[in-house]
């Protein structure tokens, strides 16, 4: 057997500073009316943001194809500025609905916003070699909890992400994960503030 076959190159992951907010363009949530899968997306008619941070202030719509529920979200006003959403935790940052993509993993809750988010996490967790090419200040991967980054938990976390990927294809109330119940455990931050006339 050749050396290359016996010792394959490790899977590399290159972190170029991906922010969690980049995955908020489509968030799968539990419908407040029927308990099935609903989706939170930007309201139509607004220009594509120039900066990812603007996604925290962009008006949103929650819609459920199962029961027809619809709700809109706009950023709160604080003086001359807007108070934006704060991503993170097992509720969506706009309507504070439980995320649809949640499962129990390693004694904790593993969650994601949508399939693209799941794939990004799986690429990171599955990598044997991780390289950082940007400041970790706001980078999503650098801020992941230690248990998700542990090599000892790799197979367990990848299995959990596979469960989330399968959940993304389901939509009825009976398909809902038992982890996605009303807990209200999302950290309650004050929110980012965007002053009018700020960068777009």
For the chain, the domain total comes to: 1
Kindly state the DSSP code that residue 97 receives in the 8-state scheme: P
pLDDT at 55: 87
- pLDDT tens for 21-45 read 999 999 999 999 999 999 999 998 8
pLDDT at 78: 81
- Is residue 5 in some structural domain? no
pLDDT at 94: 96
- Is residue 2 in some structural domain? no
130-137 CB contacts, 8 Å cutoff, 24+ apart: 130/12, 130/13, 130/15, 131/12, 131/13, 131/14, 131/15, 132/15, 133/14, 133/15, 133/16, 133/17, 134/15, 134/16, 134/17, 135/17
pLDDT at 2: 38
The bridge status of strand 60-63 relative to strand 37-42 is antiparallel
Distance CA 60, CA 62 (A): 7
- Is residue 191 in some structural domain? no
- Is residue 37 in some structural domain? yes
pLDDT at 1: 40
Distance CA 149, CA 143 (A): 10
Range of the domain at 73: 10-178
- Is residue 161 in some structural domain? yes
pLDDT at 167: 97
- Is residue 4 in some structural domain? no
- Is residue 104 in some structural domain? yes
pLDDT at 61: 96
Q: What are phi and psi of 177, to 5 degrees?
A: -65, 145
Q: Are 63 and 72 in contact (CB under 8 A)?
A: no
- Is residue 200 in some structural domain? no
Q: Which regions of the chain are under pLDDT 50?
A: 1-9, 185-200
| Neighbouring residues of 183: CB distance < 8 A, sequence distance ≥ 6 | 90, 98
pLDDT at 172: 96
């Amino acid at each position: 057997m050749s050396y290359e076959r016996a010792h394959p190159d490790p899977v590399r992951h290159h972190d170029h500073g991906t922010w969690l907010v980049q995955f908020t363009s489509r968030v799968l949530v539990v419908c407040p009316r029927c308990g099935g899968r609903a989706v939170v997306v930007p309201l139509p008619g607004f220009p594509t943001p120039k900066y990812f941070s603007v996604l925290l202030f962009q008006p949103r719509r929650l819609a459920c194809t199962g029961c027809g529920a619809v709700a809109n979200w706009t950023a709160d006003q604080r003086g001359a500025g807007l108070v934006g959403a704060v991503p993170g935790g097992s509720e969506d940052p706009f309507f504070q609905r439980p995320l649809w993509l949640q499962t129990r993993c390693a004694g904790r809750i593993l969650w994601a916003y949508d399939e693209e988010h799941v794939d990004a996490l799986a690429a990171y967790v599955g990598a044997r070699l991780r390289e950082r090419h940007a400041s970790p200040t706001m980078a999503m991967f650098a801020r992941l909890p230690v248990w998700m980054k542990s090599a000892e938990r790799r197979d367990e976390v990848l299995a959990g992400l596979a469960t989330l990927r399968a959940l993304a294809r389901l939509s009825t109330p009976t398909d809902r994960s038992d982890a996605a119940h009303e807990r209200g455990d999302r950290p309650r931050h004050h929110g980012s503030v965007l002053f009018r006339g700020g960068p777009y």
